Structure 1
Amino acid sequence: MRALFLTASALALSACAGGPPPEVATPTPVLPQQFFHAPDAGTGAELAALLPTSDPAYNTLAAQALAGSPTLGEAVARIEQARVGAARAGAERLPAIGANASVTGTRTNPAQFGTSLPPGIAFDTERVAYAANLTARWDLDIFGRLRAQERAALARVDAADASALAVRNALLAEIAASVIDWRTLEARQEEIESDIAAAEELARLAGVRERAGIAPGFDRVRAESAANASRSRLAALDSERARLTGRLVTLTAQGGMQVRAAMALGAPDTELPAPPVALPSSLLVNRPDILAASAGLAAADAELAATARRRFPTFDLSAALGLLAFSPGDLFDEDSIVGSIAATIAGPLLDFGRIEAEINGAAAGKRAAFEAYRGAVYTALGDAEAAYSLVAAADRELAAANSEAESLQRAARLAETRQEAGLADFLTVLEARRAADASGERAAAALGRAKRARVLLWQALGGDPQPITRSISQ
């Protein structure tokens, strides 16, 4: 009865040591019903179609990056680290069983017992003790502190997994954008080479007319200048290609030769898929950064619960069973068996605000995690809105650039026809050809920007939803 009274008193005092943990409201952020620039329902393509998966170079480089990228490898290692932490937190809820053995020598000074011992009483001043013990300890976790810590650790595993997925999506998006830029350079190179050929043909015709004495040498010089300007634009593409090579080497962890060999595979598809239909609410379950922030909020909530439960007492059961003898031969005698069993209760009574300060700190951490979650939600919403708008703007730019190129090419052909008929001079033909030459390169660049906008939309809407399966050994 006395033990029961003491236990109840300790529980009552511990429960009165502080009130309930502070409530931190975490309402779901309010999102619009639809994206402003989203396409009509039923007109969009699949999300995966926004990537250049028809390009063999992209498929090859993406596979190499997923297998060997250091950035992704670091993210996967973070997952393994979080899983180890969760396993440790789960193990804390189970009994701890241990074993030990010892040999202890002691020497006693008889004078410490006085000047003399009673008659017939003697003891060994030097003794050696041999012991072997099996111990066990278990925290009953009645108030759930260890369970809350385990929930926090599991939430951190989810956060690490979502963060790794975000790293993979960013990696694939960067590779896709670099491959598109490379293909855009190839298309621009074709247009510039066509421009050079047309300018050289004009220079040849001007030279023929000059030698025939029916045109001044100035016409030939102007045509050669136009060809040289196109050659200058062509040479400038090499610096952009070198930059892309270095970028792909960094992303894929491959050498420059492997990157160049991959880019020589196949040819890109000029088809532009329609943007997929998506709702703002879908970002909450598709975007890895939102999932990571949500898991971080869950971990902060569990940590607040675990901290609040520190106000309550802990109940420990412990036991020991062993052998104790003072000579090796007596170690396994029946009399050498020793043991103990204990139940312990310990809890705070007066800590002068230490635990309360920790609870308030954990509550502030949860509020910070909630604001980080809200920030991730609205960042994703802004990314998606911007990506949809960018796709629409890029498509309009591409249509205008194609129309401009067709019109200027037609004007150049008409000018050449009029010159052959004697209705236009060479300068008119040269100016028409120069305008047409620049328009083809602009149309090729506009096509590349339209493809790049789709990659940004793919990443903004959540990217690849597949879980991370790569292991550290890869």
Structure 2
Amino acid sequence: MKRLFTILTVALLTGCASIAEGPSASSVKTPSSFVYAPPQESRAPLSALLPNEDPAFQTLLTAIDTEAPDLQVALARVDAARAALRAAGAARAPNIEARGNAAYARSSENAVTNLPPGFAIDPTNSSFSAGINASWDLDLFGRLRATQRAAGLRLDAADADARAVRLAVVTDIARGVIDYRTAQAKLRIVEDDLADAASLAELTGKRTRAGITPGLDLVRAQSLEAAARSQRGPAEADLASALGRLVTLTARDGKSVAAAFIAPAEAGFAGEAPFALPSVLLRQRPDIVAAEYRLGAANADVAAAAAARFPQISINAALGLAALALGDVFSADSLTASLGGSIAAPLLDFGRVEAQIDARQADAKEAFALYRLTVFEGIGEAESALGNLQARRSRLAILETQLGIERDSLSLSTARYRMGLSDLLGVIDAQRQLNATRQSLVEAKAAAARAQIQVYRSFGG
């Protein structure tokens, strides 16, 4: 007994070597503010940055939780992490199993020699047994508790990953809606440009036939009409591209996606960017939250590996029945029982446990580095998104002013042409400039809308 106590004491002292505390998420310092932060009086919710007023967006969002392929993959990973947590919790409970056995054997009578005369043996033999065995790891030093804690944190990380995927799907659908509406707006502009070009060609034809203008003017007017018609193809291609992306994101067929856009809506919207600090991202961005959970799980793995230095103490018990005849199985004399305990501790493992601890500590360092990287990637994305939104809105305002100027220019050029004060070339140049500005304005509205969506995504939705 004294020798057993000595061995146990040595094992405990061996296991008591300290483990350095793992890296903490709180040690990551974030900037105090964003360079492109909006004014502090801006209190608009993040949801205002999405095209919520567009009926197509609302329709396409209705079934993403059950239909979106990317999200289904993430939710399956959550289920797997949940199962791993249940397994880790079950490992801390007693393990009870039932067993039964029945056997029949016959020996060869010819193989037995040197028996006394008249002595006979029974060549058959049978045995029956049934029992319940139980074992329980007491987990006095927390190895199983640390493993369960790590599994719980990985489940939280998988859940945060699913939220990140959902955020990505929602914002990708929002971009797809903006792209589809933009293509629709471009097609409407093409139709308007064609109508204006046809009207100009008709007017020029009349003036040419009357001998007021040269035939070259009619060619120029027809060229303008052809140029307007050539814009239809790219706009239709953009429409098809947006439709295809939305089909992939929502797992719907193309007809139902296109049907969602029957109700008209603006291609852009004007939500205000909310005021927020970089530290807010640590709580709102699901990818940062997931990285923090994984860091906690890695530190728990270090604790579990360190607990392997300590003895593993278990209680074992068995209760059963054993007999040579089936009819005797349930008699009192067939009862068997045992109760005991076991202890196992590393004595000379030649560094196996230390190597496992070093490996888990390296994993924790990697998890901390990935967490820090994720934090600054998020801050960088948010900074870029805020600056991009400011630049896009500034360009949009300039183009809106320019559109008014181009309309006035076309109106004046057309009036002078009708009065014979200028040639058709000035009208055509003004019309082409107006057409280009209108297309640029549509693109600028879409770019501003996409920038708003990126702000929403970069702040975690």
- TM-score under structure 2 normalisation? 0.94
Which residue in 2 is equivalent to 1:36? Answer: 35
C-alpha contact (below 8 Å) 2:11/2:345 kept by paired residues? no
> Pick from 348, 351, 354: which aligns with 2:352?
354
Q: Output the CA distance in 2 between the equivalents of 1:299 and 1:349.
A: 28
Which residue in 2 is equivalent to 1:410? Answer: 408
Task: After TM superposition, give the deviation of residue 215 of structure 1 in Å.
Answer: 0.7
Q: Which amino acid aligns with 2:55?
A: P
C-alpha contact (below 8 Å) 1:416/1:429 kept by paired residues? yes
Task: After TM superposition, give the deviation of residue 434 of structure 1 in Å.
Answer: 1.5
> Pick from 192, 202, 205: which aligns with 1:204?
202
Q: Residues 83-162 of structure 1: matches in 2 within 5 Å?
A: 83-105=82-104, 126-162=124-160
Q: Residues 71-470 of structure 1: matches in 2 within 5 Å?
A: 71-105=70-104, 126-268=124-266, 270-463=268-461
Task: After TM superposition, give the deviation of residue 114 of structure 1 in Å.
Answer: 11
Q: Output the CA distance in 2 between the equivalents of 1:9 and 1:124.
A: 51
CA displacement 1:127-162 (0-9 Å, x = unmatched): 322111011110000000000000010011001001
Change (3 A) 1:413 1:380: same
Q: Which amino acid aligns with 1:57?
A: A
CA displacement 1:81-138 (0-9 Å, x = unmatched): 1001000100110111111111134568999999789xxx998664322111011110
SS of residue paired to 1:57 = helix
Structure 1 spans left out of the alignment, 5+ residues? 464-474
Q: Output the CA distance in 1 between the equivalents of 2:107 and 2:430.
A: 114
More displaced, 7-16 or 187-196?
7-16
> Pick from 25, 28, 34: which aligns with 2:23?
25
Change (3 A) 1:10 1:116: farther
Q: Which amino acid aligns with 2:335?
A: I
Once the two structures are aligned, what percentage of the paired residues are identical?
40
C-alpha contact (below 8 Å) 2:45/2:274 kept by paired residues? yes
- TM-score under structure 1 normalisation? 0.92
More displaced, 333-342 or 262-271?
262-271
Q: Output the CA distance in 2 between the equivalents of 1:87 and 1:353.
A: 31
Change (3 A) 1:446 1:234: same
Task: After TM superposition, give the deviation of residue 442 of structure 1 in Å.
Answer: 0.7
More displaced, 268-277 or 222-231?
268-277
Output the aligned Cα RMSD. Answer: 2.3
More displaced, 16-25 or 180-189?
16-25
C-alpha contact (below 8 Å) 1:54/1:268 kept by paired residues? no
C-alpha contact (below 8 Å) 2:157/2:291 kept by paired residues? yes
Aligned residues: 458
Task: After TM superposition, give the deviation of residue 184 of structure 1 in Å.
Answer: 1.0
Q: Output the CA distance in 2 between the equivalents of 1:450 and 1:153.
A: 42
SS of residue paired to 2:263 = coil
C-alpha contact (below 8 Å) 1:105/1:126 kept by paired residues? yes
Task: After TM superposition, give the deviation of residue 267 of structure 1 in Å.
Answer: 1.8
Which residue in 1 is equivalent to 2:55? Answer: 56
Q: Which amino acid aligns with 2:48?
A: A
Q: Output the CA distance in 1 between the equivalents of 2:136 and 2:412.
A: 93
Q: Which amino acid aligns with 1:440?
A: R
